[in-house]
Each structure stands twice: as C-alpha cells, then as structure tokens.
Amino acid sequence: MRTSTPARVGQYTALLAYLAFLAFPFLWLVSTAFKPPRELGSLHPTWIPEDPTLANFRQAFDEQPLLHAALNSLLAALAAAVVAVLIATPMAYVVARRRSRLAKAVTGWVVVSQAFPFVLLIIPLFLVLKNLRLVNSVPGLVLVYVVWALPFALWMLAGYVRAVPPELEEAAAVDGAGRLRTLVSVTAPLLAPGIVATGLFAFITAWNEFFFALVLLKTPEKQTLPVVLTHFIGAEGVADLGPLAAAAFLATLPSLVVFAIIQRRITGGMLTGAVKS
C-alpha cells in the first residue's frame, strides 16, 4: 500500500506534534530544575533558564536524603524484578503450553487482579507483613512488589512462550534431549529477550511505585525515592518547585534509560503471536 506525499507529510507532522506533546512535561521539568526561584515566578517563562543554577539540586540534596533513597529504590526494584522473573518464567511456560482449565483460570485471575484498587489491598497486606516482621523493611517491600508485578509479568512472558514454536522443543526431544535440557538449551535462549523485557518492566514498575512504599516504610533511612519526593510538597499542594523539579529530574533518569533500552523489546513482546505465520 503506497501513501501519497501529502498524506505522509501529514502523518509525520502529527507524529512530531504527538512527540512534542509527550516530551513537553519532561523538558519543562529539566528547565525548571535549573531555574533560580525568581525565574520560577516569571510571567514570561523561558525554555532555557536565563540564569541557570545548580542551587535547586544542592538544596534538594541538602534537605532530603536523595542518594540514600535512590539506593533503596534501586535495591527494591532490582530485587523485585529478579524475583518476579524467576517465579513468572516457569509459571508462564505452564500457562502457555498447557491448555487446561487451570491455565485459563490463572489467566482470568491475572486479568481480574489488575482491577483491584491499591486501597483494598493495603490494610490486609500491611497486617500480613507486620506479622512476618517485614514492615519497614526493604525485603517486605520487595515481597509486595513481586506480588504486584507477577500478574503482568506472567501475562507478558506467556506471550513470549507462545511465540516459541513447540516444534522446536519436539525436535530437541526427538534428538534425545530431556525435558530440562530442552528447556535450558532450546526454550530459554529464545525466551531471553522476553525475560529481559519483563524484568525491566517489573523494575520500572517498582522504581516508580509510591503508595506501598509510603505505607510500609516508616523510618527515613528506609524510604524510597518517590516517597522522599513528596517531602517537597506542603499543605494544599504548595510545592518547593525548584528542588522538587531537580529531585524529580534525577528520579526520572533511570526510568528513561531503562525504557530507552527495552522499548523495542517490549513492543516486540506484546505483539508476538499476534498474527499467524
């Protein structure tokens, strides 16, 4: 199907407009992070700060333990991603390969569980973690993140597993490979991109998560970055805009880097098996 030049120009213009729309908040955040207070209150704000300053970053680091919080976030997000993938991969294999009622029920439950509001879960979850002595601990938070990420990880990985032709596994079996050998040597390498994409997705979800971290972590030295960011916001939503923007900019960077790395894999993963070859 050929597209005429005016139509193509229109498409690209629309795409550029959409990209500009998406990029606007981030670029504005970067610009704000480098503006001195007087420029923040200007009626004619500029994209590029007239008198750029690092004072907002200095103040943000002076006021709140940002590095420590970032380290907590990193630890929780990495652990959650690894554990979620380790659990979700065999589950996804079973769900994708066994066409049983159980597999269907699991898939149905996965979809339903995504509709649960946070507030419904938080109090029972809090009590359970408290009795496990895991409140105010990063392992407790990791446990919650794993449970929270599992349904989506399972759903995503199941798509990847379905995309691996069963004939390959059958051929390996014909060649004498055992079940485990087939999984390790044939299926796993083909699933690798999906595993990486799923893991990174779980990482980003955990990195950005706020509510569970707010409720579960009590002491300042345990708090994660999204929780610490709210400390720049006062009553009635008044914000210390400069330091908030500086801290938020730093908090956004890991997500951006990770997304830049995985975005092709994620779209690949979601579309795998969408059409029959």
Partner 1 sequence: MHARLLALVLLLLLAGCSSGGTRDNGRITLRFQSLAWQEESVEANKELVKEWNATHPGVRVEYVQGSWDSVHDQLLTAFEGGEAPDIIHDASDDLADFAYGGYLADLTHLLPARLKSDIPRRSWETTTFGDGVYGVPFLQEPRVLIANAKWLKRSGVRIPTPEKPWSWAEFRRITEQLSGRGKYGIAWPLKEPVSATLNLSLSTGGQLFHRGADGKVTVRFEAADQVVPRTIHAQAGTDRSASPTTLGSGGSDTLPGFFGGRYAMVPLGFSYRQQIVQQAPKGFDWQVLPAPAGAGGLTQGVSPQTLSVAEDSPHKKEAAAFIDFLLSPRNMVRLALGDWMLPTGNRALNDPALRTPEHGWAAGTALAAHLRPAPAQTVRGYPEWKDKVATPALQEYYSGAIGIRELRERLEEDGNLVLARYQR
* Site stretch for partner 1 (CB under 8 A), options 18-26, 145-153, 222-230, 255-263: 222-230
**Residue matched to tokens 């390996």:** 172
Contacts of 51 (CB under 8 A, 6+ apart): 36, 39
Applying CB under 8 A, the site for partner 1 has a residue count of 43
237 binds partner 1 (CB under 8 A): yes
User: What is the smallest separation between the CB atom of 30 and partner 1, expressed in angstroms?
Assistant: 19
Of 231, 250, 251, 269, which one interacts with partner 1 (CB under 8 A)? 231
Identity at 134, one-letter amino acid code: L
Of 3, 26, 28, 41, which one interacts with partner 1 (CB under 8 A)? 41
In 3-state terms, what secondary structure has residue 63?
helix
139 binds partner 1 (CB under 8 A): no
Between vectors from CA 144 to CA 107 and to CA 193, what angle results, nearest 5°?
A: 55
71 binds partner 1 (CB under 8 A): no
Angle, in degrees to the nearest 10, between helices 5-33 and 241-271 = 140
38 binds partner 1 (CB under 8 A): yes
* Site stretch for partner 1 (CB under 8 A), options 91-99, 128-136, 155-163, 261-269: 128-136
Q: Where are the alpha helices (DSSP H) in 55-210?
A: 55-63, 66-97, 101-113, 118-131, 138-163, 166-174, 179-182, 188-208
- Return residues touching partner 1 (CB under 8 A): 37-38, 40-45, 59, 63-64, 119, 122-124, 126-128, 130-131, 135-136, 211, 214-215, 218-220, 223, 227-228, 230-241
